Structure 1
Amino acid sequence: MSATWIPKAEWFRPLDENLTCGPILRLLGTLENNSSSYRASMLIVTSTEFSTTEGYSLMPPEVNFNLGPLYPPQNSAYASDIEVLTGSFPSTLFYQEKNFLFWRYEINLNLVDFQQKCKYFINGQTKPEYEFFLPNINQSMNILSFSCNGFSFKTDTSTYKGTLWYDLLKKHQSLHYHVMIGGGDQIYCDAVKEKNVLYKSYLEADTQERKEKIMGQEDLESFNQFYLEHYLDWFGDGFLYGTKDPTWIKLFPKAMSSIPSVNIFDDHDIIDGFGSYNTQTNGSPMFRGLGESAYKYYLIFQHHTSPMEQLHTESSWIIGRKIGPYIHQYSHSVYVRLGKKIAVLGLDCRTERTVEEIVFQDTYDLIFERLQYEINQSNGEIKHILLLLGVPIMYPRLVFLETLLSHQVTKTIGGFLQSWNLGGGIFQVFDGEVEILDDLNDHWCSDNHKAERNKFLQRLQLFQANNGVRITILSGDVHLCAIGRFQAKSSKISSIPQQDPYFMINLISSAIVNVPPPAAVPKMLFNCQRNNVHSFGDRTDEDMVPIFKKDIDLGYDNTQVDSQYLPRRNYSTIVPIENDENYQLIGRSKIPGPIKYEDKLTVYDKEPKLDKKRREFLYPVDEDGLACTLYVEKDITNEEAETVAYEMIVPPLKVRVDELDQSGIKYLD
C-alpha cells in the first residue's frame, strides 16, 4: 500500500467495460506479531477482449481508498486531530488465461483506537458496496458464517423467490460484519457433468471404457474452461446454470465486494462427493484431472493466488507436508486472527481425503503446533478459536443407513430413497453405489472415520482445557440448521459452562441458497441419536441442543424432534457480546432459543425457568462470550427472505486444566 495523509484527491478514469469479475475481498490477518496490522487482498479480473483503448487493457485498474472513522468522534476537540487516510492499493498480475487477467491488490492497513470504514474507488468510480469495515484495535470482529451457496444441479428453483443474501446485507448495514466465513460449497460445480461435453461423454461410456480412459490435454483444457467460466458467471454475476432453472443472485457478488472472506472448500467446489468414492473412481485419470482443475480455480478465485506461486510465503496458510492422493497438491488450511479475542482455523478436509481418511496425521500435528504457537504469541488475549469444518463433526451416527445402502439388496429400498426426494436416480454414475452413500462416507461419524473423529475431538478437548480457550466448531453441508454439543457429564460442572473444560459446540448452518431436506429427515436424525444423548467417553455427554423450541412463526411449541433440527435455509452469525449494544444484561443467563425483535433491538424476557425434562441449560451473558445466531428463512416465496433468529450464548472458558480425564473414549486404538 502506498498512502499519504492528504485531503481527498480527484479521482481518474471512469470504470471501464473490461471489468469481468470482482472486486472480491479476502481477509488474511490482523494483529500479527503483536502489531496493529490489518491484512487483506482484493481480486479483480479484467478482459482484454472488449477493450476500446489500445494498450490500456493490459494495465491494472487503479484502486484508491479513503480510510476514516466509522462514526464521528463525540469529542469535538479530538475530531480536529483525525484526518482521512487516502491512498492506493498496489496490484500484482498473478495469473493470466486466454483474454482474462487476474489482478491481486494488497491491502495493508492498521487498526486504531476507533472503528474505521474503508471506502474504495476503481478507476475513480465507486458503488455503495465498495466499502468494508475495520474493528478497533481492542475489539474482536463481527462474523458471518455460511455454506452451500448454490443449488444442486437438478433442483427446481422456481418456488424460491427470495435470497438470504438480501436479508444478510440488510443486517450488515446496521451491525457491520467484518468478515464472512465460507464453510465450503461456495460454488456448485456439479454442472460439469452436463456442460462439459467431453466429460459427459466419458460418464455415458460403459464401465470398461471409463477404466481404460486416459486423460488427454484436450480433456484438461475442457475442465479448465468449465471451471473458469463457471466461476466468472457465479462470482462475477451471481449466475448459476441448472438443468431446470438458472439461478441469478446479484447480491452475492455485492457481498463479496463489501465483506472480506475466509474460505475452505468442500466437494461441490469440485464435484459432488469428490474424495468419498471408491479408490478406483477417485484415482482414475479423469477424476484426478477434474480435481486438479477445480483446485486451481478454487485457489485463484477464493484465495487470490495460483498453484504456480510460492504459497509458503503467505503466513495465513498451514500447508501440509505431503501431496494429496487424488488432488496432487499440498493441503492448504488457513489461520486468521479476527481481532483481539477470536481466531479462525479453516481445516482443509478435501485435498487429503479418501474414503478411509479425511486428514493426514502429519497435518493434524501441524495444525496443533500452529494453534499453540498463536495462543502463546497472543499472551492470553485469544479467548475463542473458531474451527471451520465443511462437514459437521457432532452429528447423529448414520451407520445403520450406511450398512443398509451398501447391501446387495439395496433395490428393495428404492421407494425409501425416492421418498427423500434425492433425484437423479437411485445409483450415482461414478462407481455404481447408492446416490446418498458418498454423502454418508463424507461424514465424520461414518463408520470409516469414527476413530479419526474421536482422536481429533480428544485433541481439541485437551487443547481447549490446557490453554483456557473456548473452541467452537462451524460446519455446513447438511442443508439444515442445528447445534451439536459436548458438555461434562457431571451436573456440578455442566451447570457452570464457563467452568466446563469439556463444553464445546458445533454450529451447523446450511444452506444459504440450496434447498433443505424433506421434513421427515429431522425425525430420522432424532431416532439415530439414541435417546438424544451419546457418551463421548466417561466424562463427556454429546447431544443436539433443543434450540428450536418455537416454530418459525414463534407461535407454538415444537415437538422434541423438531426442536433439534430445522430443515430450512439459513445462515449464521458469531458476534462478540461486547460489540452488541443490545446486550445490557451482563451477568444474566439465557437459554438457547429464538430472539424476538422490536425495532431491530433484542428484547429480553425475565430470567428464564429451567425445564429439566427438556434438558435446557442456562448460558451466562459474559462480556468475553459470543452470541451465535442462526437466521432461518420464514417463507421461500417471500422476495425479501425474512428470517427468524435463534441464538445460543457461548461463554469463554474461565479455567485451565493441565490434566483432563478423557477415559473411556472409543476407537482410539
Structure 2
Amino acid sequence: MTDEATRTGPMLFLRAAGPEGLRVAATCVRAEGEDPPRFATDRAHEAEAIATRAGGTLWRVEMTLPAPEARYTCDDVEYRVATDVTGDVTLAFASCNGQEEGDLDRPPADRNALWSHLANRLDHEAIPLLLNGGDQIYADEVTQAHPLSQEWPDNVPQSLSGDEWREMKAALDASFFARYTLQWAQEGYSEVVARVPSLCVWDDHDICDGWGSLRRAAQTSDVAKVLFASAREAYLMFQFGCRPDERPEICVGAGRGMSWRVDLPGISLVAPDLRSTRSKSAIMSDEAWGDFAPALDGTEARTFVISSVPALGPRLSLVERAMKLTRRMEDYEDDLRDQWQSFAHRDEWRRFLSHLMAVHDREDSAVTVLSGEIHLAMRGTMQTASGPLHQLVASGISHPAPPEALATGLSLLARLGEAPLRGHPIRLHPLPGKRRAYTAERNYLLLKRRGAAWSATWHLEDSGQTADLPI
C-alpha cells in the first residue's frame, strides 16, 4: 500500500448507548512507523496500536460522547456526532457495500453515490447509529494473494504443511488488511463512518462468495480454515474496532460465534451470526443457536433482528429444486442454499420464525427483521396473533442493481405465497409507491421513531425517497 492508502479513518463503532450518550471505539489506520493519530474530546485520548499488517497500523481509542450531540477531533479535524437515542430517533441500515470483481476500480463518485447522499444527510438530520447488514466488503479477490488459494474454491489442496499454513495466513492477513484499508477510505463512506457509529453483522462476501454453502471438500480444507481465520480477524478489526484476538463485548454466549445484542432506550438490536458455523445442511450450529435464542429474552418494546439473509421471502425452494434438472444454473446453487427458504434449511427456518414470533406476540412488544444480501429492495410480512411481523430489505448500497428481469421474476414468484408455520402466511408487498414486490435500484433504509410510532423509508437511487411505511 502507498502511504496515502494507509491513512484511513476515523471510524466509529458503538459499544453502548443510553440517555447519557454513546460509548464508542474509534479507529484509524496510519502507515507503519508513523506517529499515532491524535484524538480529543474535552480531553486528549491516547491511541492504542491493535494490529500492524500490510505496511499499516490500526489504532484505537475508546471515547464517551455525551448526548444530544458531541464533537471530537482526529489529527485536528473536527467531527460532529448525533448522540441522542431517546425520544424521536432515526437509525440507518445498509448492506452490500461492493461488488464481486473490480469493486475498487469503479469511479468513486459512482460507486459511492448513495454513501455521499447519506453523508450529506447528516448535515441536517440526526442519525446516531448505522446498522450494517452484511457484505460490508467484497473480499472475493483476497484469495489471489497466495498461489495455493488462487483457484479457490474449485481446486485447492486439502492439507497444508506448517510452513504453507503460516505463509498463506500471512499473505491473506495482509490482503484483507489492505483491502479494508483501501475500501474504508472511499469517498462518501469515510464521511459517514467518521460521524455515525456502526454495528455490523457479516455475510458471505466478508469471507468469500458463498461461504458455508460451498461443496464440502472446499469448505473442510486447510485452505478454508486459513481463509476463515484471516477473514474473522479482519472482521473483528475493521467491523468492531477490536484486536484480532479480542471478542467484542456486545457478543452474547460463551462460544467463538459473534451473535450480538445492544439495547438502546426502548430498542433492542439482536444479530445472530449466520456465517461462523454455517454448512450446506445448517445455517447455525447448536452452539450458535445456544448463543442466539437467549439474546431474545427480555428485549425492549421494539426489537430489530438483523438477519443477513431475508427471513421472509418467496418459495425459492421451488427454484432450487428446478435447478436440479439442469446444470446450466449450477453456479447459482450456493446463492439459493444461502437462503432461509432453501429446502435444506426449512426446519431451521421454522425454528427461527418461531423464536421471532414468540417475541413479537409478547405484550407491548414488536419485532422487525432487517436484511440485505439480495441486491434488491423489498418488504414482507408474516401474520401473527398480535399483527404483522415486518421484514425490511435494503440491498445494496454500492453493489450494482441486478437486471429488471430478476426483480420481475421474483415478484411473480412472490405471488405464490409461503407459510412455513401453519396459520401464519408470509406475504410480500411493494415498497410505498411501487407496483411490484422487488425494486431493482441501489438503496439504503431509514428507521424512524416518532413518539411511540415506528416507520421505515427507503432512499432509492433513481426513484428517490419512498413515503414512510408504518411498521
Instruction: From 102, 105, 130, give the equivalent of 2:58.
Output: 102
Matches within 5 A, 1:623-642: 623-634=451-462
Matching of residue 258 in structure 1 with residue 171 in structure 2:
no
Cα distance in structure 1, aligned partners of 2:430 and 2:239: 35
Matching of residue 331 in structure 1 with residue 266 in structure 2:
no
CA contact (8 A) 2:96 2:134 kept: yes
Instruction: From 437, 458, 471, give the equivalent of 2:354.
Output: 458
Aligned to 1:439, the other structure's residue is in SS state helix
Flag structure 1 segments of 5+ consecutive residues without an equivalent.
Answer: 1-15, 52-56, 66-85, 239-249, 322-329, 376-381, 418-433, 489-499, 551-557, 578-622, 635-641, 651-669
CA contact (8 A) 1:213 1:285 kept: yes
CA contact (8 A) 2:5 2:182 kept: no
Matched positions, count: 465
Matches within 5 A, 1:449-488: 449-488=345-384
> Cα distance 1:146–1:18, how it changes in 2: closer, same or farther (>3 A)?
closer
- Residue in structure 1 matched with residue 230 of structure 2 by the alignment: 293
Q: What amino acid is the match of 2:97? A: N
Q: TM-score, normalised by structure 1?
A: 0.65
* Deviation at residue 221 of structure 1 after TM alignment: 1.5
Aligned to 2:323, the other structure's residue is in SS state helix
* Deviation at residue 37 of structure 1 after TM alignment: 5.7
Cα distance in structure 2, aligned partners of 1:400 and 1:571: 29
- Residue in structure 1 matched with residue 304 of structure 2 by the alignment: 386
Cα distance in structure 2, aligned partners of 1:202 and 1:633: 36
- Residue in structure 2 matched with residue 592 of structure 1 by the alignment: none
Q: TM-score, normalised by structure 2?
A: 0.91
Matching of residue 176 in structure 1 with residue 126 in structure 2:
yes
CA contact (8 A) 1:64 1:120 kept: yes
* Deviation at residue 514 of structure 1 after TM alignment: 0.6
Aligned to 1:257, the other structure's residue is in SS state helix
- Residues 300-309 or 357-366, more deviating: 357-366
Aligned to 2:452, the other structure's residue is in SS state coil
- Residue in structure 1 matched with residue 211 of structure 2 by the alignment: 274
> Cα distance 1:61–1:201, how it changes in 2: closer, same or farther (>3 A)?
closer
Cα distance in structure 2, aligned partners of 1:200 and 1:315: 33
> Cα distance 1:17–1:290, how it changes in 2: closer, same or farther (>3 A)?
closer
- Residues 624-633 or 149-158, more deviating: 149-158
CA contact (8 A) 2:361 2:386 kept: yes
- Residue in structure 1 matched with residue 468 of structure 2 by the alignment: 647
* Deviation at residue 486 of structure 1 after TM alignment: 1.0
Instruction: From 13, 16, 20, give the equivalent of 2:7.
Output: 20
Q: What amino acid is the match of 1:303? A: F
Q: What amino acid is the match of 1:188? A: Y
CA contact (8 A) 1:29 1:38 kept: yes
> Cα distance 1:630–1:213, how it changes in 2: closer, same or farther (>3 A)?
same
Matching of residue 121 in structure 1 with residue 5 in structure 2:
no
> Cα distance 1:288–1:405, how it changes in 2: closer, same or farther (>3 A)?
farther
Cα distance in structure 1, aligned partners of 2:50 and 2:160: 33
- Residue in structure 1 matched with residue 98 of structure 2 by the alignment: 150
Instruction: From 34, 37, 46, give the equivalent of 1:61.
Output: 37
C-alpha RMSD of the superposition:
2.6
Per-residue CA deviations over 1:364-385 (Å, capped at 9, x if unaligned) read 3433323324x3xxxxxx3211
Matching of residue 565 in structure 1 with residue 438 in structure 2:
yes
Cα distance in structure 2, aligned partners of 1:99 and 1:157: 24
Matches within 5 A, 1:347-496: 347-373=272-298, 375=299, 382-407=300-325, 409-410=326-327, 414=328, 434-488=330-384
| Higher RCO, Cα 8 Å, sep 6+ | 2
> Cα distance 1:162–1:363, how it changes in 2: closer, same or farther (>3 A)?
closer
Matching of residue 576 in structure 1 with residue 449 in structure 2:
yes
Per-residue CA deviations over 1:515-553 (Å, capped at 9, x if unaligned) read 12211112322332353x333434322101233544xxx
* Deviation at residue 188 of structure 1 after TM alignment: 0.8
Cα distance in structure 1, aligned partners of 2:152 and 2:16: 43
Matching of residue 226 in structure 1 with residue 175 in structure 2:
yes
Instruction: From 389, 410, 434, give the equivalent of 1:525.
Output: 410
Aligned to 1:466, the other structure's residue is in SS state coil
* Deviation at residue 306 of structure 1 after TM alignment: 2.4
* Deviation at residue 135 of structure 1 after TM alignment: 0.7
Cα distance in structure 2, aligned partners of 1:189 and 1:405: 27
Instruction: From 16, 19, 24, give the equivalent of 1:40.
Output: 24
* Deviation at residue 402 of structure 1 after TM alignment: 1.5
> Cα distance 1:272–1:627, how it changes in 2: closer, same or farther (>3 A)?
same
> Cα distance 1:30–1:154, how it changes in 2: closer, same or farther (>3 A)?
closer
* Deviation at residue 101 of structure 1 after TM alignment: 2.6
CA contact (8 A) 2:273 2:288 kept: no
Cα distance in structure 1, aligned partners of 2:334 and 2:231: 19
Matching of residue 186 in structure 1 with residue 136 in structure 2:
yes
Per-residue CA deviations over 1:490-529 (Å, capped at 9, x if unaligned) read xxxxxxxxxx524211101101011122111123223323
Q: What amino acid is the match of 1:190? A: D
* Deviation at residue 343 of structure 1 after TM alignment: 1.9
* Deviation at residue 198 of structure 1 after TM alignment: 1.3
CA contact (8 A) 2:21 2:84 kept: no
CA contact (8 A) 2:350 2:421 kept: no
Q: For the pair shown, which has the larger CA radius of gyration, 1 or 2?
A: 1
CA contact (8 A) 1:18 1:48 kept: no
Instruction: From 133, 158, 163, give the equivalent of 2:82.
Output: 133
Instruction: From 44, 53, 72, give the equivalent of 1:88.
Output: 44
Q: What amino acid is the match of 1:44? A: C
CA contact (8 A) 1:135 1:141 kept: yes
> Cα distance 1:518–1:109, how it changes in 2: closer, same or farther (>3 A)?
closer
Aligned to 2:26, the other structure's residue is in SS state strand
CA contact (8 A) 2:159 2:223 kept: no
* Deviation at residue 200 of structure 1 after TM alignment: 5.7
Aligned to 1:501, the other structure's residue is in SS state coil
> Cα distance 1:161–1:196, how it changes in 2: closer, same or farther (>3 A)?
closer
Aligned to 1:472, the other structure's residue is in SS state strand
Cα distance in structure 2, aligned partners of 1:356 and 1:443: 11
> Cα distance 1:162–1:291, how it changes in 2: closer, same or farther (>3 A)?
closer
* Deviation at residue 199 of structure 1 after TM alignment: 4.4
CA contact (8 A) 1:487 1:542 kept: yes
Cα distance in structure 1, aligned partners of 2:112 and 2:239: 25
Cα distance in structure 1, aligned partners of 2:277 and 2:149: 26
* Deviation at residue 464 of structure 1 after TM alignment: 2.1
* Deviation at residue 446 of structure 1 after TM alignment: 0.4
> Cα distance 1:444–1:628, how it changes in 2: closer, same or farther (>3 A)?
same
Aligned to 2:97, the other structure's residue is in SS state coil
Flag structure 2 segments of 5+ consecutive residues without an equivalent.
Answer: none
Cα distance in structure 1, aligned partners of 2:111 and 2:4: 30
Per-residue CA deviations over 1:355-412 (Å, capped at 9, x if unaligned) read 1111123433433323324x3xxxxxx32111111110101121222223334x42xx
Aligned to 1:188, the other structure's residue is in SS state coil
Q: What amino acid is the match of 2:230? A: S
Cα distance in structure 2, aligned partners of 1:98 and 1:184: 24
